[in-house]
Structure 1
Amino acid sequence: MNFLLSKKKTLIYVKVTTMEADLDSIPIEADCYGRDLFDMVCRIIGLREIWYFGLQHTDKKGHACWLQLDKKILQQNVVRQSNGSYYFLFLVKFYPEVVEDELIQDLTRHLFFIQIKQNILSMDLYCQAEVAVLLASFAVKAIHGDYSDDIELELDKLLPNSVINQYDMTSDMWKDKIKSWWMNINHLTIEEAEMEYLRVAQDLSMYGIQYYPIYNQKDTDLLLGISAQGLGIYETANRMSPRPFFPWSEIKNIKFKNKLFTINVMDKSKIKFRAQEASISPSILDLCIGTHNLYLRRRQADTLEIQQMKIQAQEIRTKKQNELAKLQKEREQRVQAEIERDHLKNEVEAANERLTVLQDVLRSTEETSKLIAEKAKISEEEALELSKRANQAEAEVQRVKMSQIQAEEMKIALQRKVRDAELLAHRLIQESQFNLNGRTNGNSTDFYMPFWNYAAQNLSLQQLNLLNRPGNPPDVNPIPLGENAAEGDVQYIHEKLPTLPGLYSSQYLSDELADLRQQITQSNDEYFQRNKDFRDRLADFRKEIETLKLEDRQSENDRIHESNVQNGWDKQSTLRKVRIVAFDGTLNSGSGSSKSRVRVFDEL
């Protein structure tokens, strides 16, 4: 910046506003040329495609003029501000024919995007409603990135008021439409969204055209439209359809004197018109010459500088694409990891739920076990008590049996004694009888043996054994210790336990993950296979909002556009056919010669 300064030269200060920032109080020498200031601004912002841009100022009559680069700044009709500085706008001055083929740097594309967006919002560039919504979605993508429902859209920074006011739609309805389109372009990068914005915008009828008021030979108020394709003559009420149009290929040279312009055409015919203000004549000439030079340059081989810029831009884009591909891959991996994390989280939650059930069952089992243990303890105590009682009863039975045996033995002894006594008595009787008989007979000498000895000897041992056999103890049935109750409780526990798959079964996890991967792959295939035919969608959207249109709020541009749509005319078809207007005011679609179009212009 200091190379413009000299110790002995007078300094002036300028302020330059770009589409992104303000450059305040730039000191330059008072005798600097416009080129010096322009180059300085380009270096400050890092711009290399400088041939598309220029510095615009307002003259003393309030007309917007372009700063002439080959003239000194103070020799031009530049207004000095109240603080003593000079004010300029750094804007797009020349437009490419095809933005995607000609714009090289990302910065250049970004500056174009901001300016075209601002021109649409300020209604300097007419845009129909359906296209405005599409462009708004690209703008939201370029500004905010991927779709997010949390982002609050500012409608006045996305759609022109002319579009909002001419339809019976609420702000939420407009926002929903924009978000719907935004979701469909979520796959685009920010750079791609800006380029798509420019691709759509360049098809607008008024895109890239700078209008200047002129007079023809009949002093009719007309507009001269300067564009990358050529020069068009427009009626003041219709800036969309030229009447007629002259492509740059037919224009040989342009010159002016004061207000009068003369354009020489290849077939030697001349177009003459007058600028309504002499102060804008240099801007018209400068714009025509610069646009025509760019037109010729496009049809020549690229210079080494442009080739180098394209190579560098391609390398940068390739690097960005690789980084984006890597980022996308990492994003997909992160999404996949999040899905698997959520899946595992759900499994953990399910496992926790199952663990809770198991804990409840275990708690119930422990309570049941305690109850069973208490029952078993009580049963054991009862069994011990009953066993004790049984032993006591058995001892009592044994005692009674011993007493009975003793009584039997005493009885037997007594019976034996009774029998002995009876036998003795009987013997005595027999002896007495015998003695009595002996005395009577006197000859009986038989010896008599007492028979009771045999009777005593023949006493049955079996009967004695029967008497001496110990009595069988009474059967004591053991009291059950609660086995049936315990088995019933255990059976209840088994019935309560759910049938659970292996919590960490590899087959279980692999099947679930395979299903998730299949769903993700299918959704991605469907997403990338969807047809994004914007024209069809725009046509459908146009039909959709057609019923909400408020006819009394339609502008003249809306009516002209509607008429062109009904007739099948668009910007490119108009320029291709070089439409001319007949003297009766009807629009002819046939191609006319340069002379015939010059006559049409003169007769307007």
Structure 2
Amino acid sequence: MGKKDFSLASSTKESSSKKSKMLQICVTTMDAELEFAIQSSTTGKQLFDQVVKTIGLREIWFFGLQYVDSKGFITWLKLNKKVNAQDVKKETGDNAIYKFKFKAKFYPEDVSTELIEEITQKLFFLQVKEAILTDDVYCPPETSVLLASYQVQAKFGPFIKDVHNADYLDNERLLPERVIKQHRMSKDEWQERISQWHQEHSSMPREEAIMEYLKIAQDLEMYGVSYFEITNKKKTSLYLGVDALGLNIYEKKDQLTPKIGFPWSEIRNISFSDRKFVIKPIDKKAPDFTFWVERLRINKRILALCMGNHELYMRRRQPDPIEVQQMRAKAEEDRQKRELERYINL
């Protein structure tokens, strides 16, 4: 029952569907809300393609459509199935609306080499910033202040004494509540420290500030990790972390330091049967790692995340396709053009 197996060379197939009545769709990105009317035969891929076309995104391989299912779990829309055939929780009534969040599902190993276009960089910046400010990603106090200064640089541009007066940060959400509560500093004192760092960034362009933010954030232990509650053979509660480089097992009290690690390069096979999940190392002398989850659907989500992350892991180790090479060339051309314009305007 519910048996799935994934050898690390597997791929998924897409299916077609028939036309029927229209469905109302609301998609929230990190900085916009989009509305669509789609046919009941529309697949997840067709909806996803419509979203990325609307916002002008080309680096689509990092992203997905997230939703809350009927059981209250957060999950990702399957691209090869009809939208209305998936367990999307929707408003009741004649005008039921299917609600999705367009978010990064997979993270790069290195933002500076993998995130090419400005729109991709901005979407990652907004999502990572939100995760840090809500404490979904733990960030130490000093790093939080430095990140806040890049956040300010990205919004306001270079510090200008005559423009950025004492209260210019009053309405900005800049630090996690945990950091504010841990230290006996007033709001003005925090803002003064952040403003000092802002001044240090001098004439740094906004797009560069976004990338500096991400380069620091990607070194945080919880960055880019999807956590799942699991139990081992001894019924000990643990966390499984899935990220760009592999799988990690964490103790329940510590999501920062993994106790066991399984890099993608050292995994031969992963599979599940019902609530049981098995990781088989390439080293046949090494024991399998077996764990259990609360529901079958959680194992399905874990497997899908593993497949996507491993596919990107392999792609990074191959030459860039022509499309990506062209994107890189265009991005470099645009960067040089901006630098020239800034130089002329000095």
- TM-score, with structure 1 as normaliser: 0.52
Q: In the TM superposition, what are the counterparts of 1:49-128 in structure 2 within 5 Å?
A: 49-82=59-92, 83-128=95-140
Q: In the TM superposition, what are the counterparts of 1:8-407 in structure 2 within 5 Å?
A: 9-24=20-35, 26-82=36-92, 83-148=95-160, 149-150=164-165, 152-154=168-170, 157-268=173-284, 269-327=287-345, 329=346
Contact 1:232 1:244 in 2 (8 A): yes
Query: C-alpha separation between the residues in 1 aligned to 2:79 and 2:280?
Result: 25
Cα distance, 1:257 vs. partner?
Answer: 2.4
Cα distance, 1:5 vs. partner?
Answer: 11
Amino acid at match of 2:224: G
Query: C-alpha separation between the residues in 2 aligned to 1:88 and 1:19?
Result: 12
Query: C-alpha separation between the residues in 2 aligned to 1:156 and 1:217?
Result: 47
Higher percent of residues as strand: 2
Cα distance, 1:325 vs. partner?
Answer: 1.9
Deviating 4+ runs (over 4 angstroms): none
Amino acid at match of 2:338: K
Query: C-alpha separation between the residues in 2 aligned to 1:32 and 1:5?
Result: 7
Cα distance, 1:296 vs. partner?
Answer: 0.8
Greater RCO (CA < 8 Å, at least 6 residues apart): 2
Amino acid at match of 2:60: I
Query: Equivalent residue of 2:204, what SS?
Result: coil
Query: Equivalent residue of 1:109, what SS?
Result: helix
Deviations 1:535-586 (A, max 9, x none): xxxxxxxxxxxxxxxxxxxxxxxxxxxxxxxxxxxxxxxxxxxxxxxxxxxx
Query: Equivalent residue of 1:47, what SS?
Result: coil
Cα distance, 1:164 vs. partner?
Answer: 0.3
Contact 1:5 1:11 in 2 (8 A): no
Match of 2:10 in 1: none
Cα distance, 1:254 vs. partner?
Answer: 2.0
Contact 1:251 1:264 in 2 (8 A): yes
Work out the number of aligned pairs and report it.
Answer: 323
Query: C-alpha separation between the residues in 1 aligned to 2:233 and 2:178?
Result: 35
Cα distance, 1:299 vs. partner?
Answer: 0.7
Contact 1:13 1:28 in 2 (8 A): yes
Contact 1:260 1:272 in 2 (8 A): yes
Contact 1:59 1:65 in 2 (8 A): yes
Query: C-alpha separation between the residues in 2 aligned to 1:62 and 1:12?
Result: 21
Deviations 1:106-164 (A, max 9, x none): 10000000001101111101111000000000000001111143252147611011000
Query: C-alpha separation between the residues in 2 aligned to 1:291 and 1:128?
Result: 27
Amino acid at match of 2:154: A
Contact 2:17 2:43 in 1 (8 A): no
Q: In the TM superposition, what are the counterparts of 1:529-544 in structure 2 within 5 Å?
A: none
Deviations 1:491-525 (A, max 9, x none): xxxxxxxxxxxxxxxxxxxxxxxxxxxxxxxxxxx
Query: C-alpha separation between the residues in 2 aligned to 1:157 and 1:191?
Result: 20
Query: C-alpha separation between the residues in 2 aligned to 1:51 and 1:155?
Result: 35
Query: C-alpha separation between the residues in 2 aligned to 1:252 and 1:72?
Result: 32
Deviations 1:247-278 (A, max 9, x none): 11101232222222222211134222122222
Cα distance, 1:220 vs. partner?
Answer: 1.6
Query: C-alpha separation between the residues in 1 aligned to 2:319 and 2:233?
Result: 40
Query: C-alpha separation between the residues in 2 aligned to 1:104 and 1:73?
Result: 30
Higher percent of residues as helix: 1
Q: In the TM superposition, what are the counterparts of 1:464-503 in structure 2 within 5 Å?
A: none
Contact 2:24 2:37 in 1 (8 A): yes
Match of 1:396 in 2: none
Structure of greater Rg: 1
Deviations 1:27-68 (A, max 9, x none): 111122111111110000000000011111111221111111
Cα distance, 1:207 vs. partner?
Answer: 0.8
Query: C-alpha separation between the residues in 1 aligned to 2:155 and 2:226?
Result: 27
**Percentage of identical aligned residues:** 45
Query: C-alpha separation between the residues in 1 aligned to 2:154 and 2:98?
Result: 33
Query: C-alpha separation between the residues in 2 aligned to 1:195 and 1:71?
Result: 35
Deviations 1:357-401 (A, max 9, x none): xxxxxxxxxxxxxxxxxxxxxxxxxxxxxxxxxxxxxxxxxxxxx
Query: C-alpha separation between the residues in 2 aligned to 1:75 and 1:251?
Result: 33
Amino acid at match of 1:302: D
Query: Equivalent residue of 1:262, what SS?
Result: strand
Match of 2:5 in 1: none
Contact 1:259 1:276 in 2 (8 A): yes
Query: Equivalent residue of 1:157, what SS?
Result: coil
Mark the runs of 5 or more structure 1 residues left unpaired by the alignment: 330-604
Cα distance, 1:237 vs. partner?
Answer: 1.4
Amino acid at match of 2:155: I
Q: In the TM superposition, what are the counterparts of 1:407-418 in structure 2 within 5 Å?
A: none
Query: C-alpha separation between the residues in 2 aligned to 1:267 and 1:298?
Result: 24
Query: C-alpha separation between the residues in 2 aligned to 1:136 and 1:206?
Result: 18
Query: C-alpha separation between the residues in 2 aligned to 1:246 and 1:288?
Result: 12
Could you say what the CA RMSD is over the residues aligned between the two structures, in angstroms? 1.7
